[in-house]
Structure 1
Amino acid sequence: MSMIQETVEVDVPLRTAYDQWAQFEEFPQFMDGVEQVTRIDERHSHWRTRISGVQREFDTEIVDRQPGERIAWQTVGGDVRQKGEVSFARLDDGRCEVRLAMDYDPQGMAHHAADTMDVIDRRVRGDLERFKSFVEERGTG
Structure 2
Amino acid sequence: MAERAVAGLSNRVSRTADRLNDYAQGSGGNLLAAVTGVEKLAGGASPLQAAVSAGVSKLGHTARETFESVKESLTGGTGKGGTKKLKLTNIVEQIDIGVPIDLAYDQWTQFADFPKFTKKLEQVEQVSDEKLTWTGKVFWSRRTWESTIIEQVPFERIVWRSKGAKGYIDGAVTFHEITPDLTRILVVLEYHPRGAFEKTANIWRAAGRRCRLELKHFQRHVMTEAVLHSDDIVGWHGEIHDGEVIEDDQTARRNETEDNRADEEADEEMEEAEQDEAEQHEDEEADEHDEDQFATDEEEQPEPPRHRTAARKSPVTRRSRMSQGASR
TM over 0.5: yes
Matched, 1:128 2:215: yes
1-10 or 101-110, which moves further after superposition?
A: 101-110
| Higher gyration radius (CA) | 2
Q: Is the 8 A contact 2:166 2:198 kept in 1?
A: no
1:109: which partner in 2?
196
| Map of 1:81 onto structure 2 | 168
In 1: Cα distance, 2:112 partner to 2:96 partner: 22
**Structure 2 unmatched ranges of 5 or more:** 1-87, 232-328
Q: Which runs of at least 4 in structure 1 moved beyond 4 Å after TM superposition? A: none
Q: Deviations over 1:56-113 (max 9, x none)?
A: 1111100000100111111145543221011110010101001111101112222112
Aligned to 2:143: 56
Instruction: Look up the equivalent residue of 2:223 and give its one-letter code.
Output: E
Deviation at 1:51, TM superposition (A): 1.7
What count of residue pairs does the alignment treat as equivalent? 141
The 3 A distance-change label for structure 1 pair 48 and 42 is same
Identity %: 28
Cα deviation for residue 31 of structure 1 reads 2.3
Aligned-residue CA RMSD in angstroms? 1.3
Secondary structure class of the residue paired with 2:144: strand
On the 8 A contact 1:72/1:85 being kept in 2, the answer is yes
Counterpart CA distance in 2 for 1:77 and 1:42 is: 20
2:133–2:144 Cα contact (<8 Å) kept: yes
Q: How does 1:22-33 map to 2 (within 5 A)?
A: 22-33=109-120
Give the match for residue 36 of structure 1.
Answer: 123
- 1:57/1:80 contact within 8 Å kept: no
Q: Deviations over 1:13-42 (max 9, x none)?
A: 111001100011011122221100000110
- Report the TM-score, using the length of structure 1 for normalisation: 0.94
Maintained 8 Å contact 1:59/1:78: no
Q: Distance in 2 between matches of 1:20 and 1:91?
A: 18
Determine if the alignment matches structure 1 residue 3 to structure 2 residue 102. no
Q: Contact 1:37/1:46 (CA < 8 Å) preserved in 2?
A: yes
Which 5+ residue runs of structure 1 have no aligned equivalent?
none
Work out the CA distance in 1 between the residues paired with 2:187 and 2:141.
24
Q: Which has the higher contact order (CA 8 A, sep 6+)?
A: 1
Normalized per residue, which structure has more helix?
2
Tell me the distance in 2 between the aligned counterparts of 1:88 and 1:63. Answer: 17
Equivalent position amino acid for 1:22 in 2: T
